[in-house]
């Protein structure tokens, strides 16, 4: 990157709104590269898109090499006349119409589009996320149609589950690459009235989309389960990004966004500060910064560290450009329990938040899901069939699996909501060799503590899957995290580690629900592991984990089958006082 030549590599590019956890690309038959695409395959792709978005007539869906390509040809497709664009928005719309010699005006309200030959809006809008309710779009197209106009709605960042109703005066553009995280595939669609669809196909010419793009796009658009899971994950990740920006001091600086990006007012120097740390975000002339979503946990950690290092003052602007203010009032309340302070100590604070005088904001009522008896039975099975696994098949996991499991793990409870879990994904063969060596040495030491028949039994146990497991990661507790403001940790600092264990158990169950096995390796010298992985010394190792497909599933713990120990009946663990 020319702008930040000394920034650490690899750069973390958050300057776009592209899903960082891409659709797992299937293996492609070699002939897809060698042959011209088959028109029937294009039709199947368009039918898959139509089905995914609820379009009744697949012929009104036209595939193109990216929605940008369609933006470029629209002036040659749509009737002449004045173009009005709801602004500010993605600038390529203005450029395309102006390049074609059209008169273009920017307006600030959707109502101002009516009366023009062509009205253009992005929904949701890029970059501020302004969103017209989907049901308002056909009504706006109706109003444009009264004056003979056509409405163009760029839905590049639309929710893929938003349905598309046909309309004779409406052209919609949909992007494939953003939600599916495959922007390099260059695939986009127009959904438009049939006569315009015929003309667009002629303008794009034969073979508008490559064979690989057709195959991958068709598979992805048919994959409703991936779409659903991805929507949920993006919502969760966007909320996580909000929390991170908020904690970093960008409170009140939010302008808007979509699940794929967030827009904030830029505190002075933040773009430069992030760039110097190899983190690229998009800066806009209005003084806005757009943050795309980090993907892997290491990327989240890196962004968090860079934001914390920025030492931002708390932002409190609403609407106009935010102004930094001194922290006071509510901020002081947020920091009521600084790390290390004893909240039960000298300060005569009320015992709980229901004490008179402290108004606790109540959450807005939401409809909670109901879990029925059948679900509980399945959940019980999951608990019973979770196993510690040490024998793995070597098959790789589908891309995105580990990230998805870590995202689920991060739903776990944590003391003071301090979220002290830190995941270090270990893929480097040299580091894996080092961990195996540490395990062998620690295991030999452990063996030395037994003798006689117990030692013989110990020697028969297989206590790690480090040779075969395709995925390995270490999980640490960051006791130094400022998150949670020390709440609940003053008397028992080890609550940080306990919180991390809840996350591990959550991941363990989520993995088993996907048919995967997890093996916990604890026969390791924790200091040597932290050194081998080159991680901050104050991160405490909670466990090292092997993940993959188990060679076999078992109803009983391996240590029980090998008569090392037996499972006891639960009443043995209960005392009454
Ligand atoms: C904190 C913790 C550490 C563990 N460490 C190891 C280990 O180093 N090696 C191993 O083979 N299993 C390890 N296990 C797995 C246990 O042996 C296993 O959970 C137990 O035998 C019950 O079996 P199950 O998990 O299949 O129900 C560990 C489990 C926990 C909870």
- Examine the pLDDT at 320 and tell me if it is beyond 50: no
CATH assignment at residue 443? 3.40.109.10
Q: Which residue has the higher pLDDT, 160 or 331?
A: 160
Indicate whether 354 belongs to any domain. Answer: no
Mean pLDDT of 195-208: 96
Per-residue model confidence (pLDDT) at position 352: 53
- Examine the pLDDT at 404 and tell me if it is beyond 80: yes
Assess whether 401 and 262 both reside in one domain: no
Tens digit of each residue's pLDDT (9 = 90 or more) over 522-536: 999 999 999 999 988
Atom of ligand 1 nearest to the CA of 521: 8
Assess whether 469 and 515 both reside in one domain: yes
Tens digit of each residue's pLDDT (9 = 90 or more) over 7-50: 999 999 999 999 999 999 999 999 999 999 999 999 999 999 99
Assess whether 390 and 509 both reside in one domain: yes
- Examine the pLDDT at 214 and tell me if it is beyond 50: yes
**Mean pLDDT over each residue of the chain, to the nearest integer:** 88
Which residues, at least 6 apart from 355, have a Cβ–Cβ distance to it below 8 Å?
A: none
In angstroms and rounded to an integer, the radius of gyration of the C-alpha atoms of the chain is 28
The pair of three-digit structure tokens given for residue 61, joined into one six-digit string = 């869906």
Query: Which residue of 384, 388, 435, 469 sits with most ligand 1 atoms within 8 Å of its CB, as the best mutation to test the pocket?
Result: 388
Per-residue model confidence (pLDDT) at position 247: 82
The CB of 463 under 6 Å from ligand 1? The reply is yes
- At residue 316 the predicted structure's pLDDT band, cuts being 50, 70 and 90, is very low
- Examine the pLDDT at 440 and tell me if it is beyond 60: yes
Among candidate residues 308, 336, 364, the one where a domain is terminated: 336
Q: Are 47 and 169 in contact (CB under 8 A)?
A: no
Among candidate residues 188, 222, 256, the one where a domain is terminated: 222
Assess whether 165 and 79 both reside in one domain: yes
Per-residue model confidence (pLDDT) at position 105: 96
- At residue 251 the predicted structure's pLDDT band, cuts being 50, 70 and 90, is low
The CB of 93 under 6 Å from ligand 1? The reply is no
Per-residue model confidence (pLDDT) at position 257: 92
Assess whether 300 and 415 both reside in one domain: no
Mean pLDDT of 60-65: 98
Assess whether 379 and 432 both reside in one domain: yes
- At residue 364 the predicted structure's pLDDT band, cuts being 50, 70 and 90, is low
Tens digit of each residue's pLDDT (9 = 90 or more) over 174-198: 999 999 999 999 999 999 999 999 9
- In the chain, % of residues over pLDDT 70: 90
Cα 101 to middle of ligand 1, angstroms:
70
Q: Are 194 and 167 in contact (CB under 8 A)?
A: no
Mean pLDDT of 365-388: 90
- Examine the pLDDT at 355 and tell me if it is beyond 50: no
The CB of 388 under 6 Å from ligand 1? The reply is yes
The CB of 520 under 6 Å from ligand 1? The reply is yes
- In the chain, % of residues over pLDDT 90: 75
Q: Which residue has the higher pLDDT, 382 or 253?
A: 382
- Examine the pLDDT at 411 and tell me if it is beyond 50: yes
Identify which of 188, 384, 404, 210 has the alpha carbon closest to the alpha carbon of residue 295: 404
Residue with the smallest CA separation from ligand 1 atom 19 is 388
Cα 422 to middle of ligand 1, angstroms:
20
Residue with the smallest CA separation from ligand 1 atom 11 is 463
The CB of 512 under 6 Å from ligand 1? The reply is no
Assess whether 329 and 394 both reside in one domain: no
Residue range of the domain that includes 125: 35-222
Per-residue model confidence (pLDDT) at position 365: 63
The CB of 557 under 6 Å from ligand 1? The reply is yes
Assess whether 233 and 212 both reside in one domain: no
Tens digit of each residue's pLDDT (9 = 90 or more) over 451-475: 999 999 998 899 999 999 999 999 9
Assess whether 165 and 276 both reside in one domain: no
The pair of three-digit structure tokens given for residue 335, joined into one six-digit string = 């920091």
Q: Which residue has the higher pLDDT, 317 or 301?
A: 301
- Examine the pLDDT at 232 and tell me if it is beyond 90: no
Measured distance CA(41)–CA(51) in Å, rounded: 15
Indicate whether 254 belongs to any domain. Answer: yes
- Examine the pLDDT at 333 and tell me if it is beyond 90: no
Assess whether 403 and 541 both reside in one domain: yes
- Examine the pLDDT at 252 and tell me if it is beyond 90: no
Cα 70 to middle of ligand 1, angstroms:
56
The CB of 523 under 6 Å from ligand 1? The reply is yes
Assess whether 197 and 233 both reside in one domain: no
Atom of ligand 1 nearest to the CA of 564: 21
Residues β-bridged to residue 505:
none
Mean pLDDT of 356-360: 46
Assess whether 234 and 324 both reside in one domain: yes
Among 157-161, 389-393, 521-525, which stretch is predicted with the lowest mean pLDDT? 157-161
CATH assignment at residue 278? 3.90.1150.10
Q: Which residue has the higher pLDDT, 156 or 325?
A: 156
CA torsion through residues 226, 232, 233, 234, sign: positive
- At residue 361 the predicted structure's pLDDT band, cuts being 50, 70 and 90, is low
Indicate whether 515 belongs to any domain. Answer: yes
- At residue 342 the predicted structure's pLDDT band, cuts being 50, 70 and 90, is very low
Total structural domains within the chain: 3
Helix-, strand-, coil-residue percentages of the chain, each rounded to 5: 40, 15, 45
CATH assignment at residue 61? 3.40.640.10
Helices (H), 12-38: 31-34
Mean pLDDT of 222-248: 89
- Examine the pLDDT at 372 and tell me if it is beyond 60: yes
Atom of ligand 1 nearest to the CA of 461: 11
CA torsion through residues 325, 331, 337, 339, sign: negative
Among candidate residues 313, 336, 359, the one where a domain is terminated: 336
- At residue 311 the predicted structure's pLDDT band, cuts being 50, 70 and 90, is confident
């Amino acid at each position: 990157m020319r702008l930040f030549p000394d920034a650490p590599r690899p750069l973390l590019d958050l300057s776009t709104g592209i899903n960082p956890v891409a659709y797992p690309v299937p293996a492609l038959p070699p002939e897809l590269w060698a042959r011209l695409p088959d028109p029937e395959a294009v039709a199947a792709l368009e039918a898959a898109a139509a089905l995914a978005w609820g379009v009744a007539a697949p012929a009104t869906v036209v595939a193109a090499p990216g929605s940008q390509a369609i933006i470029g040809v629209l002036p040659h497709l749509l009737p002449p006349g004045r173009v009005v664009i709801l602004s500010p928005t993605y600038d390529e719309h203005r450029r395309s119409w102006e390049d074609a010699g059209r008169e273009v005006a920017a307006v600030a309200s959707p109502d101002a589009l009516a009366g023009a030959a062509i009205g253009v809006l992005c929904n949701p809008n890029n970059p501020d996320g302004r969103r017209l309710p989907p049901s308002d779009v056909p009504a706006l197209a109706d109003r444009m149609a009264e004056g003979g106009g056509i409405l163009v709605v760029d839905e590049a960042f639309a929710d893929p589950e938003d349905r598309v109703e046909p309309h004779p005066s409406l052209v919609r553009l949909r992007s494939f690459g953003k939600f599916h995280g495959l922007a390099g595939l260059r695939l986009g669609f127009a959904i438009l009235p049939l006569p315009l669809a015929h003309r667009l196909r002629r303008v794009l010419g034969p073979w508008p989309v490559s064979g690989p793009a057709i195959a991958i796009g068709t598979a992805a658009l048919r994959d409703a389960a991936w779409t659903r899971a991805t929507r949920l994950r993006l919502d969760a990740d966007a909320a996580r990004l909000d929390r991170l920006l908020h904690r970093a001091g960008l409170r009140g600086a939010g302008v808007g966004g979509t699940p794929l990006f967030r827009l904030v007012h830029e505190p002075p120097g933040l773009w430069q500060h992030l760039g110097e740390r190899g983190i690229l975000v998009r800066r806009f002339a209005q003084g806005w910064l757009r943050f795309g979503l980090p993907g892997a946990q290491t990327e989240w950690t890196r962004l968090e560290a860079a934001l914390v290092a920025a030492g931002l003052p708390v932002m409190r602007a609403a609407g106009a450009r935010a102004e930094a203010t001194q922290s006071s009032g509510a901020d002081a309340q947020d920091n009521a329990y600084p790390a290390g302070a004893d909240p039960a100590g000298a300060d005569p604070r009320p015992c709980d938040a229901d004490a008179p005088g402290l108004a606790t904001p109540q959450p807005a009522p939401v409809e909670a899901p109901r879990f029925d008896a059948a679900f509980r039975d399945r959940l019980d099975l999951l608990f019973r069939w979770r196993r510690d696994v040490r024998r793995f098949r070597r098959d790789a996991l589908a891309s995105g699996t580990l990230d998805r499991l870590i995202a689920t793990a991060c739903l776990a409870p944590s003391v003071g909501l301090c979220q002290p879990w830190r995941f270090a994904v270990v893929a480097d063969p040299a580091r894996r060799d080092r961990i195996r060596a540490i395990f062998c040495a620690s295991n030999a030491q452990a063996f030395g503590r037994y003798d006689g028949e117990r030692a013989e039994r110990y020697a028969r146990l297989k206590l790690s899957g480090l040779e075969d497991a395709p995925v390995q990661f270490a999980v640490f507790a960051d006791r130094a995290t400022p998150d949670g403001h020390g709440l609940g940790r003053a008397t028992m600092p080890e609550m940080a580690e306990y919180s991390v264990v809840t996350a591990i158990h959550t991941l363990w169950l989520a993995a088993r629900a996907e048919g995967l096995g997890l093996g916990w390796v604890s026969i390791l010298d924790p200091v040597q592991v932290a050194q081998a992985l080159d991680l901050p010394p104050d991160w405490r190792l909670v466990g090292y984990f092997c993940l993959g497909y188990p060679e076999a599933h078992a109803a009983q713990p391996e240590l029980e089958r090998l008569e090392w120990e037996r499972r006891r009946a639960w009443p043995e663990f209960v005392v009454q006082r």
